[in-house]
Amino acid sequence: MRLSAVVGLGTVFLATLAMAQGGKDQRRSGYQDMSPALQRMQDDDTANPAMLYVQAGEALWKQKAGASNKACVDCHDAGSMKGVAARYPAIPSGADKPVDLEGRINLCRTGQQKAAPFDAESEELLDLAAYVARQSRGMPIAPADDPRLASFRAHGEQLFKERQGQLNLSCANCHDDNAGKKLGGATIPQAHPTGYPIYRLEWQALGSLKRRLRNCLIGLRAEPYDYSSPEYVDLELYLMDRARGMTIDAPAVRP
Amino acid sequence: MANVLINAPKTVRKGETIELKALILHPMETGFRPGANGQLIPRNIIEQFTATWNGVEIFRMKMSPAVAANPYVSFFAVAKESGTIRFQWTGDRNFSAEGSVMVTVT
């Protein structure tokens, strides 16, 4: 009797709590978990080191390349990539598999410019990705409404929640269950990909979401997928959906 | 061509103290790290950074292997006359880069 009363009260309390939080977004981007000094560094375009790469990307955008001797700007006006980073990964026309932003850039490179694709994580690819992503800064993440993406996204979610590696942990174990707590000296972020490619101070360089995911996989003592693996794209699809509506702050600075 | 970002106010009052910030893309390879093949990666750092205001040196800094990649330098100067502030980086492998800004002193 007393027990059920307690349980009943508990339920009422939980319901009130849920109501009080109703509609309020509990999601936090990595930006909100950074120190004010780092936030200022990111916000100041002349202090954010990622802007060096954006500058290089802008130059590359105008540089002719490949057998067709075309530059990106010959098809896409400078600044016409607004919103693209907020939407990707997506399935390009004529294809049946999703590609991420870097993959899309390389598709243009091989298909339109008739040039060799950039290597994964190469400086040129990151430069261009940063230049494109910068144009979506301030926009809400809005994944493509393509029904064909659903199965890939579901696979991404499965990967996110699947235990792996010698430590037998899933992404969700840290980033869903224990986000906000500490791992070593660092705050565990909720893993929302709002700012990629990021300038990570630990790397002293710009890096893609793939590099960041590899970092976590190595941390789990799991074998990282190869850079060309579709797993990364599926995971990114799920993460972008999970972060739907959050603001893009690319290219971000992270500790 | 090196990639630099410079932040300085465009117009300042005479006698005002202004902050000048300069960021440059550079690996700052220490020379102490082994590469994938086990051999040490040769040192490649910026050795010196200088700033001149209308040709007069206002700031000089010697950099060491302990400085992180893409060094960011911020310093203060008193505005005396309108002109060009020139920033210069020199280092290993004949590295040389330059950037400049125009500042109007009123």
Percent of chain B past pLDDT 70, that is, above it, reads 98
Question: Is the pLDDT assigned to residue B1 strictly greater than 70?
Answer: no
Predicted local distance difference test score (pLDDT) of residue A91: 93
Write down the ipTM of this complex: 0.86
Say whether residue A51 is in contact with chain B using an 8 A CB cutoff: yes
CA distances from A32 to A35, A53, B48 (A): 8, 23, 36
CATH fold of the domain at A50-134:
Cytochrome Bc1 Complex; Chain D, domain 2 (1.10.760)
Q: Indicate the pairing of strand B95-105 with strand B83-91.
A: antiparallel
DSSP E strand stretches across chain A: 182-183, 186-187, 198-200, 205-207, 253-254
Predicted local distance difference test score (pLDDT) of residue A8: 47
Model confidence band, residue B3 (pLDDT cutoffs 50, 70, 90): confident
The answer to whether the CB atoms of A52 and B25 lie below 8 A apart is yes
Chain A residues in contact with B69 by the CB 8 A cut-off are 204-205
| Chain B residues touching chain A at CB-CB below 8 Å | 3-7, 21, 23-25, 28, 68-70, 72
Say whether residue A49 is in contact with chain B using an 8 A CB cutoff: yes
Q: What is the pLDDT of residues A99-115, one digit of tens each?
A: 999 999 999 999 999 99
The answer to whether the CB atoms of A47 and B23 lie below 8 A apart is yes
Chain B residues in contact with A45 by the CB 8 A cut-off are 5
A231 CA: distance to closest CA in chain B (Å): 26
Predicted local distance difference test score (pLDDT) of residue A16: 42
Say whether residue A187 is in contact with chain B using an 8 A CB cutoff: no
A44 CA: distance to closest CA in chain B (Å): 10
Predicted local distance difference test score (pLDDT) of residue A78: 76
Residues lower than pLDDT 70 in chain A? 1-23
Domains and CATH numbers, chain B: 4-28+44-105 (2.60.40.10)
DSSP class per residue in A118-171: PPTT-HHHHHHHHHHHHTTTTPBP-----TTHHHHHHHHHHHHHS-BTTTTB-H
Say whether residue A205 is in contact with chain B using an 8 A CB cutoff: yes
For chain A, domain boundaries: 36-42+140-254, 50-134
Predicted local distance difference test score (pLDDT) of residue A24: 75
A48 CA: distance to closest CA in chain B (Å): 9
Predicted local distance difference test score (pLDDT) of residue B88: 95
Chain B residues in contact with A44 by the CB 8 A cut-off are 7
Predicted local distance difference test score (pLDDT) of residue B2: 62
Q: Is B50 exposed, middle or buried (0-12, 13-18, 19+ CB in 10 A)?
A: middle
**What is the C-alpha separation between B99 and B89, in angstroms, rounded?**
9
Q: What is the pLDDT of residues B23-70, one digit of tens each?
A: 999 999 999 999 889 999 999 999 999 999 999 999 999 999 999 999
CATH fold of the domain at A36-42+140-254:
Cytochrome Bc1 Complex; Chain D, domain 2 (1.10.760)
What are the residues whose beta carbons fall under 8 Å from the beta carbon of B90, sequence distance 6 or more? B46, B47, B48, B96, B97
The answer to whether the CB atoms of A46 and B21 lie below 8 A apart is yes
- Candidate from B3, B6, B28 with C-beta closest to A46: B6
> What average pLDDT does this structure show over B95-101?
93
Predicted local distance difference test score (pLDDT) of residue A15: 43
Chain B residues in contact with A49 by the CB 8 A cut-off are 23, 25, 70, 72
Predicted local distance difference test score (pLDDT) of residue A26: 87
The answer to whether the CB atoms of A56 and B3 lie below 8 A apart is yes
Chain B residues in contact with A126 by the CB 8 A cut-off are none
